[in-house]
């Protein structure tokens, strides 16, 4: 009797376990039954749940709940990287310490929108800011031939080559013919990034040729200076450029053709000592450093403390070395208006307002 009862219990137990086994929701119940039903049931259920550590693989065809498959395709590993690169997008103003977005600074013509500090801009950008569209670059192919075969820490030729690769221009000035508010002009802008905007034989030649074109065409000449002075690698040849440009400017003066000099930060050395200060109008940008020797050298030479704002555009304006200090935003309008006055040309008349058509029916 006990044997029959045990066998019956064994069969029933196995059936119950197999039924429950297909149902994940009652796995706990099955496990409880497995551990509490005793060795008799475990013996009949041999091989499936024989040991406590052995686990059956989960059933996949009888789940109560199913998770819908996502329709969104996962991104590749490289694209799914959630990193936003902000390096180089922000800029701390050296004057007011304000944190600025570089794009805002560029849209504001590289002038700090908080304090008005004027940052340097490239020669090409200067020309774009001052001339109307459609200007034409001149003498772009002129290259220095290293007249002294100069070499310091590295050869002058390799220095020139590096600068040409870095800036994309052949020497430290870009000259262009174009129009400024409709007035034809010859414009030259110096590139400070090219060996400190130093003036060598190429810069001198480009400026002299621009003056020749101005003389031939009767157009005004405008030069935007940004320079550390004469180029020491060309020695005496660079110093000769001072006389060459100055003599060309004298010829413009004799022909009563205006020459406007715009001095930006910094304009020093031989450039200040020659053509930059020979304009019919000498215009400075706000707080531009303008001088021959630097303030530190002067202070050490004369052994005196220099006054506040010494060699800055506002200081020079106050002491009669400059005619005006004009912001970058107003520069084109100011120069164009000055040229019209120097050339005795009338101001451009505004476009006439649209006149009503007499044939049109009057409205009440």
Contact positions vs Zn ion (CB under 5 A): 93, 95-96, 112, 114-115, 117
Q: How far is the CB of 97 from Zn ion (least distance, A)?
A: 7
Based on CB atoms, which residue is closest to Zn ion, 103 or 341?
103
For residue 64, CA distances in Å to 25, 134, 140 come to 8, 75, 79
Q: How far is the CB of 100 from Zn ion (least distance, A)?
A: 7
Based on CB atoms, which residue is closest to Zn ion, 43 or 96?
96
Q: How far is the CB of 116 from Zn ion (least distance, A)?
A: 7
Q: How far is the CB of 110 from Zn ion (least distance, A)?
A: 11
- Could you tell me how far CA 80 lies from the centroid of its own chain? 28
Based on CB atoms, which residue is closest to Zn ion, 112 or 289?
112
Q: How far is the CB of 190 from Zn ion (least distance, A)?
A: 24
- Angstrom distance (rounded) from CA 316 to CA 288: 10
Give the sheet arrangement for strand 281-284, strand by strand.
136-138, 173-180, 183-190, 221-227, 259-267, 281-284, 324-325
Based on CB atoms, which residue is closest to Zn ion, 17 or 111?
111
Based on CB atoms, which residue is closest to Zn ion, 112 or 277?
112
Based on CB atoms, which residue is closest to Zn ion, 117 or 328?
117
- Angstrom distance (rounded) from CA 10 to CA 363: 106
Q: Residue with structure tokens 């930060």?
A: 265
Q: How far is the CB of 230 from Zn ion (least distance, A)?
A: 32
Residue 113 has φ and ψ, to the nearest 5°, of -70, -15
Q: The dihedral of CA 269, 274, 275, 279: what is its sign?
A: positive
- Angstrom distance (rounded) from CA 122 to CA 124: 5
- Angstrom distance (rounded) from CA 280 to CA 256: 10
């Amino acid at each position: 009797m006990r044997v029959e009862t045990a066998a019956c219990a064994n069969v029933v137990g196995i059936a119950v376990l197999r039924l429950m086994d297909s149902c994940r929701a009652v796995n706990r119940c099955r496990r409880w039954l497995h551990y509490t039903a005793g060795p008799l049931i475990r013996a009949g259920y041999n091989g499936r749940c024989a040991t406590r550590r052995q686990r059956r693989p989960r059933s996949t065809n009888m789940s109560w709940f199913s998770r819908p498959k996502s329709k969104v395709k996962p991104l590749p590993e490289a694209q799914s990287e959630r990193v936003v690169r902000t390096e180089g997008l922000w800029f701390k103003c050296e004057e007011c310490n304000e944190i600025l977005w570089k794009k805002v600074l560029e849209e504001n013509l590289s002038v700090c929108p908080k304090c008005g500090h004027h940052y340097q801009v490239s020669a090409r950008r200067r020309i774009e800011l001052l001339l109307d569209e459609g200007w034409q670059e001149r003498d772009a192919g002129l290259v220095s031939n290293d007249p002294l075969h100069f070499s310091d820490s590295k050869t002058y030729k390799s220095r020139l080559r590096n600068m040409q690769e870095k800036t994309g221009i052949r020497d430290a000035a870009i000259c262009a013919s174009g129009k400024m508010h409709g007035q034809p002009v010859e414009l030259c802008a110096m590139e400070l990034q090219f060996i400190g905007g130093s003036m060598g034989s190429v810069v001198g030649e480009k400026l002299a040729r621009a003056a020749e074109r101005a003389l031939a065409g009767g157009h005004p000449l405008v030069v935007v200076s940004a320079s550390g002075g004469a180029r020491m690698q060309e020695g005496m040849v660079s110093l000769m450029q001072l006389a060459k440009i100055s003599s060309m400017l004298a010829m413009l003066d004799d022909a009563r053709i205006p020459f406007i000099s715009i001095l930006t930060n910094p304009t020093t050395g031989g450039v200040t000592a020659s053509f930059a200060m020979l304009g019919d109008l000498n215009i400075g940008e706000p707080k531009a450093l303008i001088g021959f020797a630097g303030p530190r050298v002067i202070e050490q030479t004369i052994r005196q403390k220099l006054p506040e704002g010494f060699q800055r555009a506002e200081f020079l304006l106050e002491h009669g070395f400059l005619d005006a200090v004009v912001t970058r935003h107003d520069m084109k309008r100011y120069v164009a208006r000055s040229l019209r006055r120097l050339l005795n040309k009338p101001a451009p008349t505004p476009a006439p307002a649209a006149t009503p058509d007499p044939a049109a029916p009057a409205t009440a």
